[in-house]
Copies of this chain bind each other. A is one copy, B any other.
Amino acid sequence: MKWFGRYGSGAESPRSRSRSRELRIDRVALTDVALDPVRVIAQAAYLQLGEFAALSRAAAEAPDLESKSALATAAGRLLAKHRSLVGALERRGVDASAAMEPFAAPTDRFFAMAAGANWYESLTASYLVGGLLDDFFARLVGGLEPDGPELARLLLGPSGAEEIVSILSAATAGDPRLGSRLAVWGRRLVGDTLLIARSALPETVRTPTGEARVEPILTELMADHTRRMDRLGLTA
């Protein structure tokens, strides 16, 4: 079983791995796992709604007006992603609400946990969780016909990352204790986030053999997670 199929230019050198997220996703996508397109798009859509809710709450609780306005704008981008994914469901002739329903309760529980104990933890979670799940779901949807590449680019498009990084890196630079608390929080988040990611894989892949095959993806997801921790000034 081959986890990553190539599409787009197969001639790219290994060096291109280090290039932008968008280029990378054009190259790799899960094409040979039998995914239910409606299921995976619906889960991605509901996750974006959860990310939107979390970030708009963080915007409402922002201690200064510049952060508030910046985070609200960022939340708007997540909402737009949600809407586009709902559009992809509707194009497939399904009732989007009904399709998302099975994911509502577990996703809500996950985001209740990821809200953390304070504003900084919420923001850290928005960035780290959003980044990891967007990366992962971009790979899942990337192989879907006919709009996979478009949906993958959508998921990897502008999110709230720039705004959050700018707020949090400034905060941790001036407060090493905050930085070390958020580093612990960032490490704690990974496990639950990967469980959400895993829940998107078909049952048939959730076996020891299947899990072994998913290793390369996990390795890449973890490397990108570490890069995000770095950008926040946190030790992974």
- Asked if A116 lies at the interface with its beta carbon under 8 angstroms from chain B, I say no
Residue in B53, B68, B76 whose CB lies within 8 Å of A59: B53
Copies in the complex: 2
A80 within 8 A of B: yes
A100 within 8 A of B: yes
CA distance A59 to B51 in the complex (A): 13
Residues of B within 8 A of A101 (CB): 65
How many residues of chain A are within 8 Å of chain B by beta carbon? 26
Smallest CB gap from A68: residue in B: B49
How distant is A82 from chain B, measured CB to nearest CB, in Å?
Answer: 7
A223 part of interface (Cβ distance < 8 Å)? no
Known contacts A65-B104, A104-B65; is A56 also within 8 Å of B75 by CB? Answer: yes
Q: Is A94 an interface residue when CB atoms closer than 8 A count as contact?
A: no
Kindly supply a per-residue 1/0 record for chain A positions 42-61, scoring 1 wherever the CB is within 8 Å of any chain B CB and 0 otherwise: 00000001001100110110
With A and B bound together, what is the CA distance between A65 and B59 in angstroms?
22
A42 to chain B, nearest CB (A): 10
Inter-chain CA distance A97–B65, complex, in Å, is 6
Q: Whole-angstrom distance from the CB of A45 to the nearest CB of chain B?
A: 9
What's the Cα separation between A56 and B74 when bound, in Å? 14
Distance in Å: Cβ of A80 to nearest Cβ of chain B: 7
Residues of B within 8 A of A49 (CB): 68-69, 72
A66 contact set on B, CB distance < 8 A: 97
- Asked whether B72 lies within 8 Å of A82 as measured between CB atoms, the reply is yes
Which residues from B are CB-within-8-Å of A96?
69
Query: What per-residue 1/0 map shows which CB atoms of A89-119 lie under 8 Å from chain B?
Result: 0000000110011001000000000000000
Bound CA–CA A217/B185 (angstroms): 53
Question: Is the C-beta of A73 less than 8 angstroms from some C-beta in chain B?
Answer: yes
With A76-B80, A79-B75 in contact, do A56 and B65 touch (Cβ < 8 Å)? no
CB of A234 within 8 A of chain B?
no
Are B97 and A69 closer than 8 Å at their CB atoms? Answer: yes
Whether A39 is near chain B, meaning CB under 8 Å from some CB there, is: no
Instruction: Please name the 8 residue pairs, one residue from A and one from B, whose CB atoms are nearest each other, closest first.
Output: A53-B60, A56-B56, A66-B97, A65-B97, A76-B79, A65-B104, A65-B101, A65-B100
* New A-B contacts (5) at CB < 8 Å, excluding given A69-B86, A76-B80: A49-B68, A53-B72, A56-B75, A65-B97, A66-B97
